[in-house]
Structure 1
Amino acid sequence: MTRHVYVLNGPNLNLLGEREPGVYGAETLSSIQEKCNAKAETLGLTIDFRQTNHEGELVDWIQEARLNASGVVINPAAYTHTSVALHDAVRALACPVIEVHLSNIHARESFRHQSYISPVAAGVICGFGAHGYELGLDALASILAKTDN
């Protein structure tokens, strides 16, 4: 059975490959999307990959996932540390959510150590660069397989 998954990306991730490559890596978001599509296919998943710089649009997409997705992989970017609205939207989901960050947020500035998403996510993957998205899809597929059994 093919499961549909949302892969959601927050602000400034459209600048990957250009913005602070020493922190976020040299891969572009479109390259990450290609890898996610390939990984999803091996896992029996289809993905809807999206990016926005607008908090309300992320909230709308999370709410949309309530009806259209079996799970969500999300890199909320800077909204990780500021958005109660995203926390509440994720909390309202019945499906599992995996939080992903390219950098190790716990090894960076202290304001990045707090995540409003982590308490309502099934798990968090950070510090593995673009590969973290693939790890997030693996984790999500594993969780979904357990619910199938």
Structure 2
Amino acid sequence: MATILMLNGPNLGLLGLREPAIYGHDTLEDVEAACRDALQGTGHELDAFQTDHEGAMLERVHAARQDADAVVINAGAWTHTSIALLDALSAFEGPVVEVHISQVHRREAFRHHSYVSARADAVIVGCGVQGYEFAVLRVARLLD
């Protein structure tokens, strides 16, 4: 059984509360449950982690080298700022899929650049929280 690590960065713990007109009403717990449901019968399991602390995120990516087969990541604002996160993801050998709930290319210009995309095997943007389900199914396919 392969482990898919779903990583969520800053402010994503506020899903369902923060700017619901942009991010919707589903909570992060709802997203995790939907992803677990999507993976039923695939032989893959989901491990989920959210943090507002960049160092904790980097440490979790480093640990993924030992305990995960693939990564699905919504790095939040670190997407646009963190070369350190890109470097950590580059040391991970499995598939990486980047997710953004909103259509970032219709938003502020600073959101148009992603350091994470330089490492990602796929990028899913603007599909709402359903993008996470697409992402876990994509990495499941890549692992198969």
TM-score of the two chains, using structure 1 as the length reference: 0.94
Alignment of 1:49-128 (within 5 A): 49-128=48-127
1:99 aligned partner, one-letter code: E
Tell me how far 1:42 sits from its aligned partner.
3.2
Partner residue, 2:139: 140
Structure 1 stretches of at least 4 aligned residues deviating more than 6 Å after TM superposition: none
1:82 aligned partner, one-letter code: T
Percentage of matched positions with identical amino acids: 46
CA distance in 2, matches of 1:17, 1:91: 31
Q: Which runs of 5+ in 2 are unaligned?
A: none
TM-score of the two chains, using structure 2 as the length reference: 0.97
1:90 aligned partner, one-letter code: L
2:115 aligned partner, one-letter code: Y
Q: When the two structures are aligned, how many residues end up with a matched partner?
A: 144
Partner residue, 1:31: 30
2:67 aligned partner, one-letter code: N
Q: Which runs of 5+ in 1 are unaligned?
A: none
Q: Show CA shifts across 1:55-109 (max 9, x none).
A: 1111111111111111000000010000001000001111110000100111110
Query: 1:18 and 2:14 equivalent?
Result: no
